[in-house]
Chains A and B, each alone.
Chain A
Amino acid sequence: MPSSELWAVDLFGRVFTLSTAGQQWELCRDAQLEFKRVSAAAPCCWGIACDNQVYVRVGASDVPIRCREEAYENQRWNPVGGFCEALLPSDRWPWSDVSGLQHRPLDGVALPSPHWEWESDWYVDENFGGEPTEKGGWTYAIDFPHTYTRDKKWNSCVRRRRWTRYRRYKSRDTWAKIPSEDDPQQLPDPFSDLSLGGWEITDEPVGHLSVWAVSLQGKVWYREDVSHSNPEGSSWSLVDTPGEAVQISCGPHDLLWVSLWEGQALVREGINRNNPKGSSWSVVEPPTSENGILHVSAGVGVVWAVTKDRKVWFRRGVNSHNPCGTSWIEMVGEMMMVNVGLNDQVWGIGWTDRALYFRHGVTQSELSGKTWKAIVAGRECDGSRAGSLSSLLSAGCFFGDEVRGGGESCVPSDSEAERPGPDPERDVEVAGPASAPAELPWTNIDLKEPKKGPSHAAADFPEATNLSSLALLPLGLEEPDSADCHALWAWVSGGGCAVEAHTTLKWFTAHSGLPASMQMLSLPITPAQTAAWRKQIFQQLTERTQRELENFRHYEQAVEQSVWVKTGALQWWCDWKPHKWVDVRVALEQFTGHDGVRDSILFIYYMVHEEKKYIHVFLNEVTALVPVLNEAKHSFAVYTPERTRQRWPVRLAAATEQDMSDWLALLNLCCCESRRVHGRPSPQAIWSVTCKGDIFVSEPSPDLEAPERWLPCDQMFWRQMGGHLRVVEANSRGVVWGIGYDHTAWVYTGGYGGGCFQGLASSTSNIYTQSDVKCVYIYENQRWNPVTGYTSRGLPTDRYMWSDATGLQECTKASTKPPSLQWAWVSDWFVDFSVPGGTDQEGWQYASDFPALYHGHKTMKDFVRRRCWTRKCKLVTSGPWLEVAPIALGDVSIIPEIPGAHGSGPGIALWAVSDKGDVLCRLGVCELNPAGSSWLHVGTDQPFASVSIGGCYQVWAVARDGSAFYRGSVSPSKPAGLGHRRQSPGEPKPEPGNCVSPHGCAAPGAHGAGLGLWHRGGLGSPVRPGQCHQGPQELVPGDGRQAERGAGPPQWALEGGRCPAGDPQSCLLLRPLPLTWSRCDAGFEGPRLMQAFLSRAVLVLNVLKRGSQEWYLQAQIRDWGGNLA
């Protein structure tokens, strides 16, 4: 669980953050500004400062916010000069945007605000649709506008090329002023409240954010175009309201509530993906007519409110379909304000004590929570508070200059006048709109009349609210000393603060400690592990054993090893037809062999025709124990080489999850014991994940690579590790990284066990909670008929109207369950717009018939349509994994060990591609700190999909459009290398969509002879590339196992690639998605790129024994020559 932050403003206008992992408030250091209100989301925080300007603070990150500007250069051929800029009068501009309608000279493209900077100069994009163009990046057509092609033909009369340039957002981790509107007519009056939300309306990668604000005149404004790549947005637009608004709150999804001067609340209806501003307002009356609503706060499925009598109310029945909810429920407590954050968690500021409260016990089933719990975390600046206060009160010219100076750096000089320093004039101006209490300049409120303030404020309460920090200031000054131990808060925002049911917070006890930011991002080491006493105990125990046993080993043991039998009742999926679950008695007999190794046999006793029979399994033959969790049964499969060949594992089911875990853990322990495997896996261990996300490790034997004795992976022993991953990547120095289905990056901590392996099967430390989220997809299918148009009535021959992707299985919203009992739904069904081929506004895709190619717009020939519905489910488990926050990854690759480089200690090169397509290089990765320290962003001119680093620092990558890149000059001293060089034409060009047919290819000229590239086959090309998370049966067509969920042999996904042990033809891939490469020709020299696949290829190769691939495998093995040991 990564830490996230709660934002709050105290009565002095200082902004603090409190980490979910921390125990102490941290001051936003660089803020010379005082703030009235802030509203946070995960990536950024918006605030209204006391100069009434709006500021945005985008958190620092290793990945820059980049935006591509592009312009097209258009030319026409004429017989005299060939292609030149002289266009026909009717033509477009010589320099234009992509449509040709807008004039766009290169020097006319300006940065949108002072917070951006250019990354490089303009350059020609020589890439067209994933393929390199011949010269200068020109693409040709008969005329504008037309379809452009790479090739110049006889009839190519016009040509164009694209110039691109990246700009980068530079004002990170600092308050950046939102530029004011140039046009005074458009200028909104000062804002009094602001709220962020809406990031869950649209698909995640878009990074859309809705920013709503209320101005002092009670108008509601919406900031256009705020997204991850445009953190500032473009302009304010007015949204008409039926009354004067006081305060506004936008939930993460589609809830928007506004409180009005008159005491009612307004609810925005019709907010959706296509219309984030919504369409209409409806009015919700306050709980009691005499006390109107003062403050509202909306979450995903809840709304909380505070009325003028400070009572707290919870709105029942709020959801997307009914944003108004049904009724008010009064809650305990008197609050000044409440704020709903992520996961519908709630924070509030107490009315009387101005303390910050957290609503304890809010869960999906109990959204109203249990109690208010005071947050008593300390503040790092408590000691210096008095000092800062006095400097604030004196407001000397030094202070003023500094602010002004600071402002100049980020504000154009022409707006200087709008942005006065903190002089008395400004203070009056700030206070102007408020009534009586505000007449006192806020920096000069008399310390001696504290009592007057609050009573006054209470009397004029509605007026006071929009300047709450101002009106409430007297309270804060009442007892300046007591504030040290008890902070007084004005505003809180939990929009960026992820608290879940299982999160343990340390906010509720006062502790002095390091603020969270001071803690290193590295594996936490508990004091017990480093303490000298622990080392001493280990040493003494070894000495004791030496002393007391060394000379006496020939003595007889007092207790003879005996056979130990554990028995139990399980269910067994019987071997013959009709297959069904039968009740069996099982007995595990453990005995000590002659060589002192324990061995075990599992007996399964069953009854057939009233005759007692049994089968048995020698545990030293077991190759894997795989949990098979489906909708109803807690079962597991026992694989032996023989059983794998028969594709029929022994399947056993237990009555309860606990029972299953006990058996699984015990059997695993016995297997490990008989194979003498225990403790953490060795650095050379081979890691793999199954299609279900289970993680397995195998210890390579020293002669694993000997050509004459290769051990097929179905004969190796695979031991399960806790956790859930989509991709796992290891190098031979014990650095292991994984990526979850939700793109979270995880690093291996050195522990073992976790998940269902508890107690002895698990290491004491280094086991952490891990969660993963994946999506389940179903399809709504419709057929057109002339009378009623599209309806959900198909032809009798049609697929189910609610089906899976193939159309073969019926999947309705109600009947579709999470993939197994481990998973729980965490969202409702929503339409997925990100399907390949595009969709229309409602998510529909059209085709002439089922099944066919679908496209995103309706044509005359289309008679059927479908749309994809998605629902997220989540699994919480544990394992030896720690999250590497905060950047989500799509792919990761670690440099394989260079023979002979042991102990020399350079950092281990690790490359990754973020889920947004940024190429990243991890710095500081070494054995002691496998998580590394930070990401180094490697600039690219397009989003990437996959990266792979081989021995000798050769970095290859594939862009999303399918083009291949090689990065030169990567070395330990220059971890990011020099630049991605596009491969020459002639190399394989995967088509967009990442499905290619298997083929060998010519060697690219770039890297000498023989570095051939080879692409994976179209292994049952995933139904939906990029989203093939739906288990093995969909992915291996013709497998005949559709009906038998997970009953087949283990579906090894080698480092993410699938390699079904029984189906060699379908494992021509090293990694599944997105594409990556290995090599194909036998003539390559040297084990260079090979080493990239050292740990994984062993497996791939060994199962690829049949058919035409054999020569290839052996060639590879020969090249390896024992690098592994």
Chain B
Amino acid sequence: MTDDKDVLRDVWFGRIPTCFTLYQDEITEREAEPYYLLLPRVSYLTLVTDKVKKHFEKVMRQEDISEILFEYEGTPLKWHYPIGLLFDLLASSSALPWNITVHFKSFPEKDLLHCPSKDVIEAHFMSCVKEADALKHKSQVINEMQKKDHKQLWMGLQNDRFDQFWAINQKLMEYPAEENGFRYIPFRIYQTTTEWPFIRQLFRPVATDGQLHTLGDLLKEVCPSAVAPEDGEKKNQVMIHGIEPVLETALQWLREHLSHPDNFLHIRIIPQPAD
């Protein structure tokens, strides 16, 4: 019998093979070799691309170096989305490795947030965790933690230390035994087809009749367009961490096992690919 704990490991150690190439218009002193890297799915681009940055800065002229940004097929990549989510949203049907273009010029101010340092990522990450706990436990758990616990969460993510991170994070995943789950499920639904960056709503893991909600229940409630009618053809692809859970999956279980380190369940919905 496989244990649920293995899912956590699989999720944490998900990697996307990536090929970074420098944008053709960037001026270099010599030819820039592409750079190959395994990116952790659950981390953030700017957190794990120090090596990429160093690699390309070597060939750049000193005066041209400014804030690095990444782009895939013309779409600037938002560093504050988890890497796995970006991949699933934009490139899940393309061949591996994932080809990311590196830019040092023309920062798209309206599309991207600046990321001057890792503190900014930390602040973003922690605010996500806090928001998630507000939904789950009225912030009680996160507020009871010490500063060093918060730090350990962050350091766990930054250093890719599964056990360091989960030693603390499991406290965020607990809920009283007499209840069947969290107060609300922290989730975000991303669609490429809409204007809105993502959907978030209050949604309880357990229905009023005591039944556990499923992923399908959630989608029907907050994003009915994504769910195919009973008889209709499946038009959309619902993906979490690169896999497509069936709609019968219990939401609370998903929440506990397939959440990102920021404690959100990032659900991506894109139209079903033609093939």
Task: Point out residues on A near B: beta carbons under 8 Å.
Answer: 504, 509, 511, 527-529, 531-534, 536-538, 540-545, 547-549, 551-552, 555-559, 561-562, 564, 666, 669, 673, 679-680, 750, 758-760, 763-765
One of A544, A673, A759 near B242 (C-beta < 8 A): A544
Counting chain B CB atoms within 10 Å of each CB, the highest count among A541, A542, A543, A545 belongs to A541
Known contacts A559-B40, A559-B48; A540 and B96 CB within 8 A of each other: no
Q: Which chain B residue lies CB-closest to A751? A: B3
Whether A528 contacts B170 by the Cβ 8 Å rule is no
One of A509, A540, A561 near B244 (C-beta < 8 A): A540
Whether A537 contacts B48 by the Cβ 8 Å rule is no
Nearest Cβ on chain A to B72's Cβ, whole angstroms:
16
Whether B2 contacts A548 by the Cβ 8 Å rule is no
Known contacts A558-B49, A760-B5; A541 and B37 CB within 8 A of each other: no
Cα A112 to Cα B103 with chains together (Å): 98
Task: Point out residues on B near A: beta carbons under 8 Å.
Answer: 1-7, 10-11, 13-17, 36-40, 43, 48-49, 51, 96-97, 155, 158-161, 163-164, 166-167, 170-171, 177-178, 210, 241-246, 248-250, 253, 257-258
Whether A555 contacts B249 by the Cβ 8 Å rule is no
Chain B residues positioned under 8 Å from A759 (CB to CB): 166-167, 170-171
Nearest Cβ on chain A to B212's Cβ, whole angstroms:
8
Chain A residues positioned under 8 Å from B177 (CB to CB): 504
Whether A559 contacts B170 by the Cβ 8 Å rule is no
One of A532, A545, A562, A679 near B248 (C-beta < 8 A): A532
Whether B37 contacts A555 by the Cβ 8 Å rule is yes
Whether B40 contacts A544 by the Cβ 8 Å rule is no
Whether A538 contacts B241 by the Cβ 8 Å rule is no
Cα A504 to Cα B180 with chains together (Å): 13
Whether A547 contacts B96 by the Cβ 8 Å rule is yes
Q: Which chain A residue lies CB-closest to B45? A: A558
One of B3, B96, B166, B245 near A548 (C-beta < 8 A): B96
Whether A760 contacts B253 by the Cβ 8 Å rule is no
Known contacts A534-B253, A544-B242, A759-B166; A564 and B7 CB within 8 A of each other: no
Whether A533 contacts B167 by the Cβ 8 Å rule is no
Chain A residues positioned under 8 Å from B257 (CB to CB): 537
Chain A residues positioned under 8 Å from B3 (CB to CB): 679-680, 763-765
Chain A residues positioned under 8 Å from B164 (CB to CB): 564
Cα A549 to Cα B48 with chains together (Å): 18
Whether A760 contacts B159 by the Cβ 8 Å rule is no
Chain A residues positioned under 8 Å from B159 (CB to CB): 559, 561-562, 564
Q: Which chain B residue lies CB-closest to A678? A: B5
Nearest Cβ on chain A to B149's Cβ, whole angstroms:
11
Nearest Cβ on chain A to B213's Cβ, whole angstroms:
13
- With A541-B241, A544-B242, A564-B164 known, 8 other A-B pairs at CB within 8 A are A528-B4, A533-B249, A552-B15, A552-B38, A555-B38, A556-B37, A558-B38, A558-B39
Whether A537 contacts B38 by the Cβ 8 Å rule is no
One of B37, B163, B243 near A558 (C-beta < 8 A): B37
Nearest Cβ on chain B to A153's Cβ, whole angstroms:
66
Whether B1 contacts A750 by the Cβ 8 Å rule is yes
Whether B249 contacts A540 by the Cβ 8 Å rule is no
One of B1, B14, B170, B178 near A529 (C-beta < 8 A): B1
One of A541, A547, A556, A758 near B7 (C-beta < 8 A): A541
Q: Which chain B residue lies CB-closest to A541? A: B10
Whether A559 contacts B43 by the Cβ 8 Å rule is yes
One of A527, A544, A549 near B243 (C-beta < 8 A): A544
Chain B residues positioned under 8 Å from A765 (CB to CB): 3-4
Whether A758 contacts B97 by the Cβ 8 Å rule is no
Cα A532 to Cα B249 with chains together (Å): 9
Cα A511 to Cα B163 with chains together (Å): 40
Whether B246 contacts A538 by the Cβ 8 Å rule is no
5 closest A-B pairs (Cβ-Cβ)?
Answer: A552-B17, A540-B243, A759-B170, A558-B48, A559-B160
Nearest Cβ on chain B to A433's Cβ, whole angstroms:
48
Counting chain B CB atoms within 10 Å of each CB, the highest count among A537, A547, A764 belongs to A537
Cα A544 to Cα B243 with chains together (Å): 7
Sample of 24 A–B contacts (CB below 8 Å): A504-B177, A511-B210, A531-B248, A531-B249, A534-B249, A534-B253, A536-B246, A538-B7, A541-B10, A544-B241, A544-B243, A545-B13, A551-B96, A555-B37, A555-B38, A555-B97, A557-B160, A558-B43, A558-B51, A561-B159, A679-B6, A758-B170, A764-B5, A765-B4
Whether B243 contacts A541 by the Cβ 8 Å rule is yes
Chain B residues positioned under 8 Å from A549 (CB to CB): 15, 17, 38
Cα A210 to Cα B236 with chains together (Å): 71
Nearest Cβ on chain B to A514's Cβ, whole angstroms:
15
Cα A98 to Cα B164 with chains together (Å): 72
Cα A559 to Cα B49 with chains together (Å): 9
Q: Which chain A residue lies CB-closest to B168? A: A759
Whether A536 contacts B245 by the Cβ 8 Å rule is yes
Nearest Cβ on chain A to B155's Cβ, whole angstroms:
8
Q: Which chain A residue lies CB-closest to B162? A: A760
Chain A residues positioned under 8 Å from B11 (CB to CB): 541
Chain A residues positioned under 8 Å from B258 (CB to CB): 537
Chain B residues positioned under 8 Å from A511 (CB to CB): 210
Cα A680 to Cα B6 with chains together (Å): 12
Chain A residues positioned under 8 Å from B5 (CB to CB): 679, 760, 763-764
Cα A532 to Cα B163 with chains together (Å): 29
One of A547, A559, A760 near B163 (C-beta < 8 A): A760
Cα A702 to Cα B97 with chains together (Å): 41
Q: Which chain B residue lies CB-closest to A758? A: B170
Known contacts A548-B17, A555-B38; A531 and B250 CB within 8 A of each other: yes
Known contacts A504-B177, A764-B5; A556 and B250 CB within 8 A of each other: no
Q: Which chain A residue lies CB-closest to B96? A: A548
One of B1, B160, B245 near A537 (C-beta < 8 A): B245
Known contacts A556-B36, A556-B37; A760 and B10 CB within 8 A of each other: no
Whether A537 contacts B15 by the Cβ 8 Å rule is no
Cα A556 to Cα B55 with chains together (Å): 13
Whether B4 contacts A556 by the Cβ 8 Å rule is no
Q: Which chain A residue lies CB-closest to B253? A: A528
Counting chain B CB atoms within 10 Å of each CB, the highest count among A528, A551, A673 belongs to A528
Cα A561 to Cα B164 with chains together (Å): 12
Whether B97 contacts A552 by the Cβ 8 Å rule is yes
Cα A555 to Cα B49 with chains together (Å): 14
Cα A544 to Cα B242 with chains together (Å): 7
Nearest Cβ on chain A to B77's Cβ, whole angstroms:
15
Cα A839 to Cα B170 with chains together (Å): 55
Nearest Cβ on chain B to A317's Cβ, whole angstroms:
34
Chain B residues positioned under 8 Å from A542 (CB to CB): 10
Chain B residues positioned under 8 Å from A528 (CB to CB): 4, 250, 253
One of B2, B6, B96, B246 near A552 (C-beta < 8 A): B96
Cα A543 to Cα B1 with chains together (Å): 18
Cα A750 to Cα B1 with chains together (Å): 9
Whether A564 contacts B14 by the Cβ 8 Å rule is no
Cα A666 to Cα B168 with chains together (Å): 12
Whether B253 contacts A545 by the Cβ 8 Å rule is no
Q: Which chain A residue lies CB-closest to B166? A: A760
Cα A509 to Cα B158 with chains together (Å): 46
Chain A residues positioned under 8 Å from B2 (CB to CB): 538
Whether A533 contacts B245 by the Cβ 8 Å rule is yes
Known contacts A529-B1, A537-B7; A548 and B248 CB within 8 A of each other: no
Whether A504 contacts B38 by the Cβ 8 Å rule is no
Nearest Cβ on chain B to A29's Cβ, whole angstroms:
29
Chain B residues positioned under 8 Å from A538 (CB to CB): 2, 6-7
Chain B residues positioned under 8 Å from A533 (CB to CB): 245-246, 248-250
Chain A residues positioned under 8 Å from B250 (CB to CB): 527-528, 531, 533
Nearest Cβ on chain A to B172's Cβ, whole angstroms:
11
Cα A558 to Cα B2 with chains together (Å): 29
Chain A residues positioned under 8 Å from B49 (CB to CB): 558
One of B14, B37, B163, B170 near A545 (C-beta < 8 A): B14
Cα A668 to Cα B181 with chains together (Å): 29
Cα A551 to Cα B158 with chains together (Å): 25
